[in-house]
């Protein structure tokens, strides 16, 4: 059985995942969508049992009413598991994963600055990547945010 199918099988056995919530787009790529509340369970299982030992990146997405967060995890063998969760735009809160991957610090600060997602458990520190004087409530990667046009250019 190919590695991706085996991973999907194990995930489905452990958690109740609907068929349309998990898919492979090509060799070594799995996309999975879970409820925000179930994320940590799935995440821990992927780390410990499925050996997704590496965090490649975290991507924020603006999906109109909701904000989504995509965790890109990789095995040493090259398979990438992309776990997606959604949070409401009015109250976007997620929990940090810096306890497992300290490298996530910068990625989660990006979510804070660019999407206005509140990351619970993130240690205090410098913001990233926007400047210190950046106005509050301005989240550049949200779709309704447009850069200010200066001098008509």
Provide the binding-site residues for other proteins, judged by CB under 8 A: 25-26, 28-29, 31, 53-57, 59-62, 70, 72, 74, 76-78, 80, 82, 101-103, 105-107, 114, 124-131, 140-141, 147
Q: Which of 14/80 has CB closer to other proteins?
A: 80
Q: Are 99 and 109 in contact (CB under 8 A)?
A: no
Q: Which of 14/51 has CB closer to other proteins?
A: 51
Q: From the CB of 105, what's the least distance to other proteins, in Å?
A: 7
**Positions of E strands within the chain:** 22-26, 29-33, 54-63, 66-74, 80-88, 93-95, 118-120
Q: From the CB of 114, what's the least distance to other proteins, in Å?
A: 8
Bridge partners for 39 per DSSP: none
- Describe the strand order of the beta sheet including 22-26 as a list of residue ranges: 22-26, 29-33, 80-88, 66-74, 54-63
Q: From the CB of 90, what's the least distance to other proteins, in Å?
A: 21
Q: Which of 14/61 has CB closer to other proteins?
A: 61
Nearest to 86 by CA among 105, 113, 59: 59
Q: From the CB of 43, what's the least distance to other proteins, in Å?
A: 15
Q: Which of 34/62 has CB closer to other proteins?
A: 62
Q: From the CB of 75, what's the least distance to other proteins, in Å?
A: 9
DSSP helix/strand/coil, 104: helix
Q: Which of 39/107 has CB closer to other proteins?
A: 107
Sorted by sequence, the CB contacts under 8 Å of residue 97 that are 6+ apart come out as 43, 55, 71, 104, 108
């Amino acid at each position: 059985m190919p590695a991706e199918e085996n991973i999907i099988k194990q995930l489905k056995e452990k958690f109740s995942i609907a068929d349309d919530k998990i898919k492979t787009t090509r060799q070594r790529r799995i996309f999975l969508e879970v409820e925000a509340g179930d994320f940590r369970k799935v995440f821990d299982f992927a780390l410990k049992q499925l050996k997704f030992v590496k965090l490649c990146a975290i991507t924020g997405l603006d999906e109109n009413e909701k904000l989504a967060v995509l965790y890109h995890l990789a095995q040493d063998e090259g398979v990438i598991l992309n776990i997606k969760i959604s949070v409401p735009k009015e109250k976007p809160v997620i929990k940090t994963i810096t306890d497992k991957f300290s490298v996530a610090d910068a990625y989660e600060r990006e979510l804070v600055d660019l999407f206005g997602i509140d990351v619970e458990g993130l240690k205090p520190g410098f913001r990233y990547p926007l400047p210190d004087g950046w106005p509050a409530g301005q989240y550049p990667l949200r779709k309704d945010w447009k850069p200010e046009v200066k001098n008509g250019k």
